[in-house]
Structure 1
């Protein structure tokens, strides 16, 4: 049974009537939601699917997504050449497997792992799977420690801010871990060290710190959290590790914020994840999880699979999956190096800061963040604006093809509704100026509205 559409059951679509010029035999109809009796010409099948997909939004104008929407032609060529590689078949595709481990080594160096010659990590389908694996390792380490000390190991908890991505809610739900959330308060939109420690006890498997909140693009204070947990351990004897969810910031901070201490230079950081398909600049389908050292990944979580003539170690939620994104990640590492990544990410941040400043100068808007951490910024309407909403702004901009999400913040700040713009590779200053011009054109129409048209329920379909 498939999952129901969130807006309820969809009306059944009638069979497709084909242009008679292209009908060679039969009655000229093709079923849409069941298999047809006969074959369809490949060019005709392509054209039908191609035409329907025109109704999707333009990915390059999607200011909601963090996921990569542009790669160089050479990368696209490599992707086409490697679509058929199954990365789990390491015996059949040993070079793809080698590229995966080179990427693990590169990230271990980039994040200052203490023993880079024994880099421990793997690729995943994205940061969600990486977070699950990190959480599993943290839970199992805690269980081993509790049992060794003769203590119960049946009530684990994990501490994080309420702004975490939904993958952490899934982890806590699927693996029976109590989720202890630090709420937002006034102008603090993510976790603080003080509030995190208040929720810790001997059953805490970890504190999760986010290097780049999806709500507003801000970094959480990883070093402050580690320092607070050091003091907590001195006082209580309880050792709580930290996992850094660096889905976006893990590929920004090493290049643009080199003085920021957030990674394995902090002894309390046990693991870090990132999305290769976000600021790793790859098309959707790849993430990475790196552990501090081999001791941070319990051996009993690793499976050794005799598969197609090779005895392979594996730690993953998926088995078969594409190898092409791993190839593309290595291409980016090889192609850009430190200098290239720095240039690319700095360009994105420069656009974000510029666009945020220009939007602030328009008058009705107030910045929440300025794009000077992640190349991402959030903004709201000033309190005195009462005849249109951020949801009205989002819908107006959609008329020109711009997908700018409007959403409300979570517990303790449900009163705050904001717009967010994500800048990533492939978005230029030229596009930024066009977005700004379209926003300027819409403002007089919005300002003439007698009252709001859209709210959270009737606005665009984006849900944070």
Structure 2
């Protein structure tokens, strides 16, 4: 029988009698008294992992699920390198630095002797670092003006990834979460400015919402904050959470102004392990310039007899993902990234259009910003729910999240499809066939069998959101 955490209540793992040296019993929750032969240990672990979902058919995750064998080989060669040991692994440190320079160039950072940025374990850590820089800059400015600095707040849409609520909780910042309203599913310029005051350390603008794949209007938000500064004197910086979009927009939307070309943008983060096309986990954060990252947050370490600044929440972590990021930048170049991301968008928009033509669904987004789209059931479909659709697709191997939107649109339940590198037009055809079959079967139901309580996907949103 399974326990509450999903594991078996049996005290021992069962091993088939295929090996010549297997023990009769392997303890499940305590260390074995003796070691196992490598092939036995491998088979035990391998067999249990067969019950995981197929990562390539996981349309819930934004995280990269396919890389070239050459990239995997390079990562394997670097698994033993600790990213923090920059003096022992100077070339790995150099590759990290090159990546931040490439990203600074891609995001139009102002010309400087060097780019201020670093790698992280993912966008969550990158967001925490960016938030800390915003808070510390605000505190310095307030204290220099002889004003209290004990009630900082951060303005963001309720659609932000849960890491921002964690940041607010862990670092004593009031989160000002702007709720959704009507057909507005993310933060807009008017609401961003309306929620600011003299204690606002910054506004988070999301370039690619996890809820529906849409871009928040970064330029409009900056313009509204420019007007606010002119009227009230509050200089509110913007951090762009580009976990996904910062590696899509530069290639697919070159005319969209969202990055350091906007003077109010102080920092940008992205996930190398999302549309940066690298296995988890690696993230990146880049600041506009050295002044945007307060010096008292930076630690100095001896690096090749010189001074190496470091700013991170994490310490030891593998260098393999950073090396893989550099490999991917070299391997694809600008044009290669453009082809990959544009193909993802083409697959997403084509699939979204065909789903909209099936009959029972209505599209909320079309996959023409992030290659991500969401769709809901039409009001006249009453015999089944989006949660029923998700469960039926799972029977065919497809992992498609069904969830409700946050306040004030908890009435809206949707399905979301994330198209990543490796999701081809052919796979999209197969998905559409299975979706059509699921709809045919579900249409014979008299009433929904599953509701929001059956949702198993949080997709980065906190519990009271999803």
When normalised by structure 1's length, the TM-score is 0.96
The structural deviation recorded for 1:115 is 2.0
Change (3 A) 1:120 1:461: closer
In the alignment of these two chains, the number of paired residues is 459
Distance (whole Å) between structure 2 residues aligned to residue 350 and residue 35 of structure 1: 50
Structure 1: stretches of 5+ with no match in the other structure: none
Change (3 A) 1:17 1:7: closer
1:253 aligns with 2:249: yes
Aligned to 2:407: 411
Q: Give the conservation status (yes or no) of the 8 Å contact 1:108–1:116.
A: no
Give the SS at the match of 1:118. coil
Instruction: Give CA-to-partner distance per residue, 1:47-104, whole Å, 9 cap, x none.
Output: 1100100000000000000000001111111111111111111111111100000000
Aligned to 1:422: 418
Give the SS at the match of 2:453. coil
Q: Aligned ranges for residues 133-172 of structure 1 at < 5 Å?
A: 133-172=129-168
Structure 2: stretches of 5+ with no match in the other structure: 462-466
Aligned to 2:334: 338
Aligned to 2:111: 115
Distance (whole Å) between structure 2 residues aligned to residue 107 and residue 116 of structure 1: 14
Change (3 A) 1:116 1:256: farther
Aligned to 2:12: 15
Change (3 A) 1:308 1:336: closer
Give the SS at the match of 2:414. strand
Change (3 A) 1:116 1:445: farther
Q: Give the conservation status (yes or no) of the 8 Å contact 2:403–2:457.
A: no
Q: Give the conservation status (yes or no) of the 8 Å contact 1:395–1:459.
A: no
The structural deviation recorded for 1:149 is 0.1
The structural deviation recorded for 1:32 is 1.3
Distance (whole Å) between structure 1 residues aligned to residue 441 and residue 394 of structure 2: 14
Change (3 A) 1:407 1:96: same
When normalised by structure 2's length, the TM-score is 0.96
Q: Give the conservation status (yes or no) of the 8 Å contact 1:62–1:402.
A: yes
Aligned to 2:464: none
Indicate the larger mover: 139-148 or 439-448.
439-448
Structure 1 counterpart of 2:370, from 352, 374, 377: 374
Structure 2 counterpart of 1:363, from 350, 359, 363: 359
Give the SS at the match of 2:182. coil
Aligned to 1:124: 120
Structure 2 counterpart of 1:352, from 348, 352, 371: 348
Change (3 A) 1:190 1:6: farther
Aligned to 1:263: 259
Structure 2 counterpart of 1:217, from 213, 217, 223: 213
Q: Give the conservation status (yes or no) of the 8 Å contact 1:394–1:405.
A: yes
Aligned to 1:438: 434
Structure 1 counterpart of 2:55, from 59, 71, 74: 59
Distance (whole Å) between structure 1 residues aligned to residue 260 and residue 22 of structure 2: 66
Q: Give the conservation status (yes or no) of the 8 Å contact 2:22–2:36.
A: no
Distance (whole Å) between structure 2 residues aligned to residue 226 and residue 97 of structure 1: 34
Give the SS at the match of 1:90. coil
